[in-house]
């Protein structure tokens, strides 16, 4: 072969199939970032990826895939679904490095700078779940979360994306872990997503948690939504047809979406309203999103579109919601109305500009503050963050009190009240005159004596309603006393009062009545501290003497525990907070005596237990039944001669079910009743309700406990 003959060397990709899969996932995420309107800081993202890939080398998730796939997925959520930039992407890629490997915060800072290191450290502080094994740890982790949030909101956005990906891949976890993580998600992360305006993420978190907590109910609702989809779409299209023409004629650029209510929100409404799927009117919903270049015309255009719906449809007078003039505390803005559609179906309509829609779905902080770099005037989110900083600066002396008061503001719905000058204040539902005083200024709260509402004096404890205009009356001689704790509802007010009382100490002139109040408060605090412990203990253990209690053999938490209600002495205890029946979806918690205490999976106490005591969780399955359980059924209908006799004959004679008690009330032509029966299974109660509905005049029959 001649010396000058060209030599061709074929490139051989020496990477494994797995390496190629990982690199492909990273490149897909990177391409989404490159296609965004951010400044293209590709080099630092590439370095963060290589750093994380090396740090997690050899480790795998429970699903079996390389661990690095998780940070890549979290980064993709942040850029694709929240519109964040390079700093957040790098933090997401590195978010588990400090916690799970030998690398330190200093290593991150030396390679990627202080800002990224701060975010990674913030996420690390709240890793492993917000709730620990004890109430004090639970509150301390929650405090860390809030402190991190108040420093840089991107900390909680990374954590939100981390939780969302964990929920999307929850199927690879053991059942008891699924329940723990799903419970924590519903208890903390979904409400937090709502408070941050992350509506899209909130809905997905709720639905995923619902899917794993109550798979059968989730499946039933999804199937009903699927069955009615085609019919629902035809109703919505007929409903919006005349509106489309008016929008076109007026020159609007717009899109109309048929919005389907989430499975979890449908379930919650069915439970709280005691109605069936077909009775939920806002399953039907329409969203009108219009393009708008002039923000001065945004509000006017919303009301113009509103008139298009009023021309051809009957409007529900009590369902108009003007979130444009007064946005929600999380920044949400839109105009809502409910109109009568075809077949007598009520259809909810949401009218939004494109900007309103972006903020509603992705959150004000995520989509605007960090995406565009524009520093707006103080927003509701900033106000909320300042409230958190304020509470952290004056922490509760007791850990559980701290958690409860923070959650009071975090998860409650809002009311909107006005000062005499017309300034707007957002307060949680249940807030009082005293709460409003502290919300305006701490000194105003400390010297508040009353409020003036509509020219009428009202006491400190008076609960406010949306639209109230209140003047705070003060006196220099007025100062907090222990009673004031019961007069307020917000975290700020409670914290300020307790701080004042603690500092005042012996300077306070304490009356006998105040001493009693303090003793009561102390007792309540002690009860709160031991609440979780008491719940976990055997509810019948008080019948045993302390010396007689001997713990049983350890229960294997990794195996399904079979419940045998038909045994003379059942191998479990039922908690009275939710009174589950055989056939209900239930969870078991192992108490200190190695006994299984059973709760319904949707029980409020069980939800908290799942978050705080995941290690005590055990999967349960009914292995039998026994006719010894009480169930209460609510029955409503049109009153007529003999209907009560028909109901009792059906239950006692035909179905042979023992009635323990029956209370019935009538008002004009309508009757309502509550009937307690003895049954063996939840299915038996369901059959009873179905049979009751076949009686002429009975319109509603549902188990309520």
**Catalytic site positions:** 99-100
User: DSSP states of 474-526 as a string?
Assistant: E-TT----TTHHHH--SHHHHHHHHHHHHHHGGGS---HHHHHHHHHHHHHHH
By C-alpha distance, which of 562, 564, 560, 561 is closest to 624?
Answer: 564
Q: Sign (positive/negative) of CA torsion 149, 155, 159, 160?
A: positive
**Cα separation of 438 and 444, whole Å?**
6
Strands 414-418 and 424-428: antiparallel
Residues 232, 266 contacting (CB under 8 angstroms): no
The residues, any chain, with a CB within 8 Å of residue 250's CB and separated by 6 or more, are 304, 308
Helix (H, G, I), strand (E, B) or coil at 30: helix
Q: In 3-state terms, the chain is what percent helix, strand and coil (to 5)?
A: 50, 15, 30
**Bridge partners for 457 per DSSP:** 452
Tokens representing 522 are 């102390």
User: Exposed/middle/buried for 410, CB within 10 Å: 0-12, 13-18, 19+?
Assistant: buried
CA distances from 637 to 641, 670, 674 (A): 13, 6, 12
**Cα separation of 191 and 201, whole Å?**
10
Q: Sign (positive/negative) of CA torsion 693, 698, 704, 705?
A: negative
**Cα separation of 681 and 228, whole Å?**
31
**Cα separation of 167 and 180, whole Å?**
11
By C-alpha distance, which of 488, 356, 379, 464 is closest to 416?
Answer: 464
Helix (H, G, I), strand (E, B) or coil at 453: strand
Go through the chain and tell me how many residues it has: 705
Helical residues (DSSP H) of 363-511, grouped into ranges:
364, 380-393, 399-411, 433-440, 442-446, 484-487, 491-504
User: DSSP states of 548-585 as a string?
Assistant: G----SPP-TTSPEEE-TTSSS-SSEE-TTT---TTS-
């Amino acid at each position: 072969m001649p010396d000058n003959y060209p030599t061709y060397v074929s490139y051989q990709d020496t990477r494994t199939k797995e390496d190629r899969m990982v690199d492909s996932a990273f490149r897909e995420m990177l391409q989404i970032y490159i296609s965004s309107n951010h400044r293209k800081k590709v080099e630092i993202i590439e370095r963060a990826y290589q750093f994380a890939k090396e740090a997690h080398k050899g480790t795998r998730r429970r699903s079996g895939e390389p661990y690095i796939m998780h940070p890549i997925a979290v980064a993709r959520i942040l850029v694709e679904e929240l519109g964040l930039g390079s700093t957040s992407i790098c933090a997401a890629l590195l978010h588990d490095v400090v916690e799970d490997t030998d690398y330190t915060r200093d290593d991150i800072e030396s390679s990627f700078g202080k800002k990224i290191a701060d975010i990674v450290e913030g996420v690390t502080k709240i890793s492993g779940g917000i709730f620990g094994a004890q109430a004090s740890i639970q509150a301390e982790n929650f405090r860390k979360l809030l402190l991190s949030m108040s420093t840089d909101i991107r900390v909680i956005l990374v954590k939100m994306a981390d939780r969302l990906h964990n929920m999307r891949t929850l199927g690879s976890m053991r059942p008891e872990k699924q329940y723990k993580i799903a419970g924590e998600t519903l208890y903390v992360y979904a409400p937090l997503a709502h408070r941050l305006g992350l509506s899209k993420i909130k809905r997905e978190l709720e639905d995923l948690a619902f899917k794993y907590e109550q798979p059968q109910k989730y499946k039933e609702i999804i199937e009903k939504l699927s069955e009615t989809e085609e019919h629902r779409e035809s109703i919505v299209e007929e409903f919006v047809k005349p509106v489309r023409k008016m929008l076109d004629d007026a020159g609007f650029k717009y899109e109309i979406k048929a919005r389907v209510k989430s499975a979890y929100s449908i379930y919650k409404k069915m439970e709280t309203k005691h109605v069936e799927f077909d009775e939920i009117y806002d399953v039907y919903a329409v969203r009108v999103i219009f393009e708008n270049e002039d923000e001065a015309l945004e509000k006017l255009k919303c009301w113009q579109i509103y008139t298009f719906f009023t021309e051809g449809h009957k409007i529900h007078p009590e369902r108009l919601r003007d979130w444009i003039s007064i946005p929600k505390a999380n920044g949400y803005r839109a105009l809502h109305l409910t109109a009568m559609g075809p077949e007598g179906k009520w259809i909810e309509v949401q009218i939004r500009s494109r900007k309103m829609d972006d903020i509603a779905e992705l959150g004000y902080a995520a989509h605007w503050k960090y995406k565009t770099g524009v520093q707006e005037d103080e927003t509701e989110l900033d106000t909320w963050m300042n409230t958190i900083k304020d509470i952290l600066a004056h922490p509760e002396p007791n850990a559980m009190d701290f958690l409860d008061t923070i959650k009071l503001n975090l998860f409650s719905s809002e009311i909107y009240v006005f000062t005499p000058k017309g300034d707007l204040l957002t307060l949680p539902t249940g807030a009082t005159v005293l709460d409003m005083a502290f919300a305006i200024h701490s000194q105003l709260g400390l010297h508040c004596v009353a409020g003036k509402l509509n020219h009428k004096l009202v006491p400190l404890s008076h609960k406010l309603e949306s639209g109230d205009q209140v003047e705070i009356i003060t006196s220099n001689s007025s100062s907090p006393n222990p009673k004031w704790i019961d007069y307020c509802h917000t975290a700020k007010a409670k914290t300020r009062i307790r701080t004042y009382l603690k500092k005042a100490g012996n300077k306070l002139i304490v009356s006998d009545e105040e001493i009693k109040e303090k003793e009561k408060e102390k007792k309540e605090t002690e009860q709160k501290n031991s609440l979780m412990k008491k719940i976990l203990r055997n509810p019948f253990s008080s019948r045993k003497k302390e010396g007689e209690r001997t713990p049983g053999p350890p229960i294997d938490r990794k195996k399904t525990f079979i419940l045998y209600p038909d045994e003379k002495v059942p191998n479990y205890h039922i908690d009275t907070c939710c009174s589950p029946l055989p056939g209900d979806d239930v969870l078991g918690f192992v108490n200190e005596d190695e006994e299984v205490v059973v709760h319904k999976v949707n029980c409020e106490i069980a939800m908290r237990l799942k978050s705080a005591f995941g290690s005590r969780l055990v999967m349960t399955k009914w292995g039998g039944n026994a006719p010894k359980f009480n169930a209460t059924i609510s029955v409503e209908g049109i009153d007529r001669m003999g209907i009560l006799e028909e109901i009792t004959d059906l239950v006692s004679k035909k179905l042979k079910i023992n009635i323990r008690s029956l209370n019935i009330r009538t008002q004009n032509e309508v009757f309502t009743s509550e009937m307690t029966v003895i049954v063996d299974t939840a299915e038996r109660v369901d059959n009873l309700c179905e049979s009751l509905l076949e009686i002429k005049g009975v319109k509603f029959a549902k188990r309520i406990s």
